[in-house]
Chain A
Amino acid sequence: MEKIIQGKAYVLGKNIDTDQIIPAEHLVYSLSNPEEVKLYGKYALSGVPPEQGGLPEGNIAFIDEGRFDSEYTIIIAGQNFGCGSSREHAPFALKVAGIKAIIAESYARIFYRNSVDGGFVIPYETSEHLNQIINTGDELRIDVALNTIENLTRKVTYTLNPLGDVFSIVEAGGIFAYARQENLMAQS
């Protein structure tokens, strides 16, 4: 895994549910065919009402017209990110769009598991209300070993909650890689 994750922030509110992350009508595309996979990037976060996307101003597109990936690398959000359905297409779509880490105050269980076990994005938690003090477009730098996030635009550093038990799964790159590494599964 990358030890340093650096890139621009895209800021969202609380209770961003999976229908906002990837609307249900798009769940029909293949997750393995490369041409169709790109569509998950194109429609990532397309269910977020425009005024609530790219806070604090809002009305900032996550994916520019005609593109399949985003100029943003890190999502900053409030409580209960990823609530709603069990669709693994949600963290998958964010990964395809170019997101590497999410920093939220809390997550819904299935989204959290999917992010970790599928090895798509790193779901960090923080007790700070970062979505109220970081602006969309700020340049951020996460230090995975130190559990810190630095806002390079504003020269402030915040602490992230350690990943705890799931760190080894994140580090391995997902539950299958982890299970092989720990001999929980026969090599195939």
Chain B
Amino acid sequence: MAQTITQKILSKAAHRKFVDVGESVWLNVDILLTHDVCGPPTFDIFKEEFGSNAKVWDPRKIVVLPDHYIFTANEHAHRNIDLLRQFAKEQGLEHYYDVGGDRYKGVCHVALAEEGFNLPGTVLFGTDSHTCTSGAFGMFGTGIGNTDAAFILGTGKLWEKVPESMKFTFDGVMPEYLTAKDLILHILGDITTDGATYRAMEFDGEAIFSLPMEERMTLTNMAIEAGGMNGIIAADAVTEQYVKARSKKPYELFTSDPDAKYHSKYRYDVTKLEPVVAQPHSPDNRATVRSVQGTKITKSYIGSCTGGKLTDFVMAAKILKGQKVSVTTNIVPATVKVALDLEHERYDGQTLKQIFEDAGCSIALPSCAACLGGPADTVGRSVDNDVVVSTTNRNFPGRMGSKHAGVYLASPLTAAASAITGKLTDPRDFL
């Protein structure tokens, strides 16, 4: 029987030859990811259900990356970090990346990739909806809640319903003004925020396989914005090169059978697509930048698991080189590694950091920061009637802080171009 790549990976994790769409199967979990917001309640449930002296199923398979509320004076947030630290110590979790020292990494989905935890053919569950990001590595990754995560902590297993797949093929050579963010916002405009609920979103085509890993991660990252269970891109030579540079662990490559069944198929020619934004207050509220060009903004925000990777900042730097921003512009590297890269990576003879500083941007410490609002003292948090252009992933009411603010989701190119003019601006005006 023909299977999609998602079915094949789930078959392997269920120790089966074939799993059918719609059936619920018990999966053996390769990695469980958690962070400072959902880790403490997950650990509480684990102890309540398995006993106060219970040990996790496999301490080597649990990755704890605090990233949400790190640089804040909020005492409850600090307590959550203490609880992570305590549990990691007691359980001997070697993959706990503590705050306040050399081990701190930053935004979990980007750090997972950097630290070599993303391996083709494996199954990852995480207590964060953007766990689907890791699907860029030809693996299954999806978000779960605390109770499900506690179940995995004790058993190493979880049930999941095998999803139908939707296929999104992008033909052609990517123009320099177009980014993975534009591609996923295009899809969202077409299928809406529940267009892929409970389904796998599989991306392929010449344009996709020409993208570096970080851009592929932007695509799979926002599968959840369409309600997708997972986003997935089959691993190729680019993936293998990235993985081998970071991990010595074995992995397995899977691809969809040519006659595998799909719920639906979409095909795009990237040379015909334009830079787009998602207007307030929904990620599917798509408009071409040109059609809303001139809309005044009060802030530009470049950061998060979606838009705070090195490739995102390289794109922003191309636009910002030699320019001045006219609104508050927050540069929030996803991880410590990305922050360091800003000091070394050069564009046109200058480091990215220098380019951003010269342009008048403010560079923040790596964390999730204002992508999800966060405590009152969070860097970049929206206030009052702010109008923000942002490289993040969600713009529901209040997402970045103020309930009265409006957020336009955009690519790093569009966010940078708009920062200069103080109005929504098509990046082609600066390229």
**Contact: A19 with B394, CB < 8 Å?**
yes
Residues in B lying within 8 Å of A, measured CB to CB? 24, 37-38, 40-41, 44, 49-51, 54, 68-69, 74, 76-77, 79-80, 126-129, 131, 143-148, 151, 154-155, 193-194, 197-198, 227, 229, 282, 372-376, 394, 396-399, 401, 403
Which of A25-33, A62-70, A139-147, A149-157 is the contact stretch? A25-33
Task: Considering the complex, give the chain B residue whose CB is closest to the CB of A27.
Answer: B37
Contact B147 A108 (CB under 8 A): no
Contact yes or no, A88 B38, CB < 8 A: yes
> Given A28-B80, A176-B147 in contact, is the A108-B194 Cβ separation under 8 Å?
yes
Q: Any chain B CB within 8 A of the CB of A114?
A: yes
| Whole-angstrom CA separation of A12 from B77 in the bound complex | 31
A49 within 8 A of B: yes
A15 engages B193 (CB within 8 Å): yes
Bound complex: CA A117 to CA B229 (Å): 17
Q: Does A73 make an interface contact (CB < 8 A)?
A: no
Q: Which residues of B contact A36 (CB under 8 A)?
A: 76
Instruction: Judge if A85 is at the interface, Cβ distance under 8 Å.
Output: yes
A188/B397 contact (C-beta < 8 A), A88-B41, A117-B148 known = no
- Is A19's CB under 8 angstroms from B396's CB? yes
Cross-interface CB contact of A20 among B69, B76, B126, B398, cutoff 8 Å: B398
Which residues of chain A are near B54, meaning CB under 8 Å?
A: 188
Contacts A19-B372, A109-B198, A176-B49; A87 near B38 (Cβ below 8 A): yes
**What is the total number of residues of chain A having a CB less than 8 Å from a CB of chain B?**
42
Give residues in A with beta carbon < 8 Å to B: 15, 17, 19-20, 23-25, 27-32, 36, 47-49, 79-80, 83-89, 106-110, 113-114, 117-118, 165, 174-176, 179, 185, 188
| Chain A residues near B79 (CB-CB < 8 A) | 28, 30
**A118 in contact with B146 (CB, 8 Å):** yes
- Which residues on the A side are within 8 Å of B44 (C-beta)? 31-32
Task: Output the least CB separation between A38 and chain B (Å).
Answer: 14
State whether A106 touches B194 (Cβ < 8 A).
Answer: yes
A124 to B234, CA, bound (A): 36
| Contact A110-B143, Cβ < 8 Å, known A19-B394, A31-B44, A86-B129 | yes
Verify B147–A117 contact, CB threshold 8 A: yes
A19-B398, A118-B147 given; name 16 further pairs at CB < 8 Å.
Answer: A19-B397, A20-B396, A27-B68, A30-B40, A30-B76, A31-B146, A32-B41, A36-B76, A86-B38, A86-B143, A109-B197, A109-B227, A114-B144, A114-B146, A174-B147, A185-B155
Closest 9 CB pairs of A and B: A88-B145, A28-B76, A114-B145, A86-B143, A80-B194, A118-B147, A86-B129, A17-B396, A88-B146
- In the complex, the answer to whether A31 meets B147 with C-beta atoms within 8 Å is no
The reply to whether B49 and A188 form a contact with Cβ atoms under 8 Å apart is: yes
A-B contact pairs, 24 of them (CB 8 A): A15-B193, A15-B194, A17-B394, A20-B397, A20-B398, A23-B398, A25-B373, A28-B76, A28-B77, A28-B375, A30-B41, A32-B44, A80-B194, A83-B227, A85-B128, A85-B143, A86-B145, A106-B194, A108-B227, A110-B129, A110-B143, A165-B24, A176-B49, A179-B151
Given B145, B194, B227, B394, which contacts A113 in the complex, CB threshold below 8 Å? B145
Within the assembled complex, what's the spacing in Å between the Cα atoms of A175 and B148? 8
The complex places the Cα of A79 from the Cα of B227 at a distance, in Å, of 12
Q: Verify A87–B145 contact, CB threshold 8 A.
A: yes
A47 touches B403 (CB 8 A): yes
B77, B145, B194, B198 pick with most chain A CB within 10 angstroms: B145
Chain A residues with CB below 8 A from B144, complex form: 86, 110, 113-114
Q: How far is the CB of A51 from chain B (nearest CB, A)?
A: 11
Q: How far is the CA of A88 from the CA of B144 in the complex (A)?
A: 8
